[in-house]
Amino acid sequence: MVRGDILTSGLEERVNSFVEWTFGSSAPVAPRDSKVINDALLGNQYFTRAEIAVIDSPLLQRLKKIRQTGLVFQVFPSATHTRFEHCLGACTIAERCFRAIQDRHSVEFPGKPFPADPDRLRGDLAHLRMAALLHDVGHGLCSHSSEQIYEELTDLQEFKKKPAFVKNAPGEILSHLIVKSKVFREWFERVAVTACRAEINLDVVAEMILGRHPDKDKYFLAQIVSSPYDADKLDYIARDSYYCGLALTVDLARFYSMISTAEYMGHRLLVLRSYVPLEQILFSKMTLYGSVYHHPKVKCLDAMLRSLIRHIVENGDQCGLHCRDKVITFSEPVEYLYVTDDEFFNQFGGFGDEFVKKMLSSFKRRSLFVRSLETSRRTVSKQNWDTYHRKRIVDLSAHSADLHRVEEEIHKLLPAEVRGRCNLDEVLLSVPGVPKIKSDFAYIQASPSGDIESIEDFFPLEQWTEAYAHHKWKSFVYAPKEHAKAVRDAAISVMKDALGIEVDATLSNIACHLA
Q: Which residues contact 285 (CB under 8 A, 6 or more apart)?
A: 233, 237, 435, 437
pLDDT in tens, 84-126: 999 999 999 999 999 999 999 999 999 999 999 999 999 999 9
For the chain, the structural domain boundaries read 5-293, 369-433+473-515
d(CA 156, CA 334): 9
pLDDT in tens, 300-341: 999 999 999 999 999 999 999 998 889 999 999 999 999 999
pTM across the whole model:
0.93
Beta bridge partners of 474: 376
Contact criterion met (CB below 8 Å) for 426 and 369 = yes
pLDDT in tens, 178-203: 999 999 999 999 999 999 999 999 99
- For 426, other C-beta atoms within 10 Å of its C-beta total 20
d(CA 34, CA 192): 12
Residue 471 exposed, middle or buried by CB count within 10 Å (0-12, 13-18, 19+): exposed
* pLDDT grade for 41, boundaries at 50, 70 and 90: very high
Whether the predicted pLDDT of 4 surpasses 70: no
pLDDT in tens, 435-469: 877 666 788 999 999 999 988 888 777 787 888 87
Q: Which residues contact 128 (CB under 8 A, 6 or more apart)?
A: 94, 95, 98, 208, 221, 224, 225
Strand 321-323 relative to strand 474-479, pairing: unpaired
CATH code of 5-293, in short, is: 1.10.3210.10
Q: Between the CA of residue 132 and those of 77, 139, 224, 306, 366, what are the distances in Å?
A: 27, 14, 8, 29, 34
Task: Tell me the Ramachandran region of residue 262: left when phi exceeds 0, alpha when psi lies from -120 to 50, beta otherwise.
Answer: beta
